[in-house]
Structure 1
Amino acid sequence: MILSFSKMVGLSGVDNNENARARRIGRMFEWPMILIAFWIVFEWYLEARADGPLPYTYITDWFLWTFFLLETLVLTAVVDDKARYLRNNWSNLVIVIAGMPLLWQAFPHAGGLRALRLLAMFTMLMNMSGSFQKIMGRNHLGPTLMVSFIIIIMAGTLMAVIDPNVQTPMDGIWWAWVTVTTVGYGDIVPGSTAGRLFGSVLILMGIGLFSMMTASFSAFFMQQEEEDLIAKETANADRLAKMESRMEQLETKLDQLLTIALEAEQQRREQGRDLDGGER
């Protein structure tokens, strides 16, 4: 699910079938990109507090754009199938071309394209987390989350229609989210009988969905422990098998040495008899 989403948005990174050097360099770019992701969020927070661009925003925009350009050029150079890499990472080209700070100066409305960088960071975080991908792929957790998301959207939109206290679909979606998660902030409360009945059904549904997700997570981690234990037992069995093989080799060599020693002793005795017979 995560990999297909990454390919859909054109940010799938280096393919697993690429050469080892390309995969290693791709991993080297991951942690600097994580730091850049945190900086982008922090910078946007500072700009929101300052009600405008910061004095150093122009410099940081150029730095981030240069880093995206460097990553795209380097990885394109080291991969074997360059066409496949560019095809699976077409968003990198969009970010590099449309994300040039000089373009934002000439066309101020194009500054909204800066949001593409955050999409790249979000997708890369998902691609980095192997455990997250395994969890999503096993125990039907991915489809469960997708169904939960659809239920929240539909329930929130429907709640905005049937209850007068929910003014907009966005308010309804927020209410459905905090209801399904059993958080219940209380900022939006159903006022009509139909709304309360619908909320009761959604609460029961939320308990069931979260129970399924909790069970999936628990099953995943238990399975991980079992796999680690099996891997350790397999490694121990391999070591024992190697030790047995070496012992058998030692026994074979000892038998050979013993046979050689017995043959040498027998030859020495025969030579001794021959000498005794000659003297007589």
Structure 2
Amino acid sequence: MASPLPNIIGLSGVGPYENSRAIKLGRAFEWPMIIVAMWIVFEWYLQSKAERPIAVTAFTDWFIWGFFLLETLVLTLVVDNKKRYLINNWANIVIIVAGLPIVWETLPNAGGLRVLRLLAIFIVLVNTSGTFRKIMARNHLGPTLAVSFVIMVLAGTMMAAIDPNVETPLDGIWWAWVTVTTVGYGDIVPGSTAGRFFGSFLILMGIGLFAMLTASFSSFFMQQDEKDAIREEKNNTRRLAEMADRIELMETKLDRLLALSEAAQQQNSSASSAVKKTDAGGD
């Protein structure tokens, strides 16, 4: 049974009850949304470290806002029940309305509304949860590694933005990697309350992520063994079939030889009977 949490927080995406076209378009927006979410985190890091506003963010702010608007409009047009879709995805509407860049430029105190765009990360995680379940079910190692990489980059960049002990996104990605894998070298540790809180969340999430990777690797090697066993079984089946064909051919030849032998015996018997009759008539 599906959890009602995505609907409550307005992050449900396109439901499975919608038409196939809407579902396909919803899945098509997943990876672009992941890229946008990664840029949002990276932009947040740049703005937190910069002493003055960065010019490029003015363009990317409008681009990100336009992407949210495009996704919402396209999916609203293709779904069957538009009202239900908008209600279940009210967070998108909040991001579009409150995240309009011109509002931040006109009202400086409204700059805090940028934080609303971080909801995009949760939108990505929630809306692609079905994809993650499919990856887990089918044990696709490649997509699993790709998802893990995305999580490492997002977590590391966010950590570099919120914790003073993490100076660069590369340091944050390194910290996220050793944290999730439970190695914990201790060369980089969070020093702020926010960083420790986020680190605790990543550790909790890393337990499931690392378990997913371990299961995927195990399944990958098991599938290789199964493929080898299936291939060997097919070879054995083919050999048995060839042996059965040869035995059948030998039986056919034996039947012909027996038939020829019986025919020869009958001819010999007939000839012997004729010779006996001839000899008896001569006497």
TM-score (norm 2): 0.48
RCO higher in structure (CA 8 A, sep ≥6): 2
